Amino acid sequence: MESVLITLILLVALIALVVALLFWPRRGLLARVVVHDYERGLRYQGGKLSGLLNPGAYTILRPIAEIRVLDVRPVWLLVEGQEVPTKDGVAVKVSMAARYVIGDAVTTVTADQDYRRAFYLVLQLALREAIAGRTVEEALEARVAIGQALLERCAADATALGLELLSVAVRDVMVPGELKRAYAAVLTARKDGEAALERARGETASLRNLANSARLLDDSPGLLRLRALQEVGKSTGNTIMLGLDGGSPAIASEVRAAPRAARRTTASSGDAATDDR
């Protein structure tokens, strides 16, 4: 009876040991790998690539099988500021960003030991080549064109790494401080010139209007009288004196009419004088 009990205990212990060896997390013989929708799995059997796995759950025997999972979502790669001499010998600091996605997972793993580093180097060299062939002004004005040129230049190299290059953009083109001050001075002088030109245009237009008005008055003298009457009509307390020779009306400002009582007194005195006579 005791021997049967000992045998049963040993059997349970053996089963527990086997289960532990098979399913122990990260160290067990059996492993369950989940490939998500945004991932792709590479199955290896005995160290050899045996196939590409779509999203799903897979169980493998660790000693002879392995699954490597790759994230295939689009990602941005930032190339930090690179100090590059331009065509005219000025050192500028340029940075760029590239967006790519894994197009061929097998090629991405097998084409290079570190595809990210390799792709970074491809972008870096292409950026230096693009800036070195342009002057400072061209590099500042054509950032969009440079990005498009880099996209076309690096697309083939990205495909060779199993990647699909989606977009490339030049982020910053930084020039030395002395050149910044020079550009600021040029811009200030240009704006001052534009302001002076606008002032000259305004003065010319004003003089042209005055000359036209003078010519019109010479041709039609009566317009001056009408204009004077319009101005008098807008104000009060003015006296108009019209010459008998048909000349222009003279306006005496601030000459106010006498009060009605005074006018009446003057009229009465005049009548009395007439009666005396």
In order, the DSSP letters of 138-195 are HHHH-HHHHHHHHHHHHHHHHHHTTEEEEEEEEEEEE--HHHHHHHHHHHHHHHHHHH
Instruction: Break the chain into its structural domains and give their ranges.
Output: 2-70, 75-175
Read off the DSSP letter of residue 1.
-
Residue 161 CB neighbour total at 10 angstroms = 21
Better pLDDT: 222 or 57 = 57
Name which of 48-62, 110-124, 233-247 the model is least confident about: 233-247
Cα 191 vs. chain centroid, distance in angstroms? 23
Does residue 254 come out as left (phi exceeding 0), alpha (psi in the -120 to 50 range) or beta?
left
- Residue 202, pLDDT > 70, answer yes
Which pLDDT belongs to residue 23? 55
Which pLDDT belongs to residue 242? 53
CATH architecture of 75-175: 2-Layer Sandwich (3.30)
Mean pLDDT, residues 115-120: 94
Pairing of strands 163-174, 65-71: unpaired
Indicate the average pLDDT of the chain.
Answer: 77
Residues paired with residue 97 on neighbouring β-strands, in sequence order: 78, 169
Whole-number Å distance between alpha carbons of 211 and 203: 12
Which pLDDT belongs to residue 25? 52
Which pLDDT belongs to residue 156? 94
Q: What tens digit of pLDDT does each residue of 80-112 get?
A: 888 888 888 888 889 999 999 999 999 999 889
Which pLDDT belongs to residue 21? 56
pTM of the model: 0.58
Give the closest residue to 71 by CA, choosing from 37, 98, 47.
37
b/e for 53-69, b at 16 or more Cβ within 10 A? beeeeeebeeeebbbee
Better pLDDT: 11 or 239 = 11
Better pLDDT: 187 or 3 = 3
Q: Are the C-beta atoms of 30 and 22 separated by less than 8 Å?
A: yes
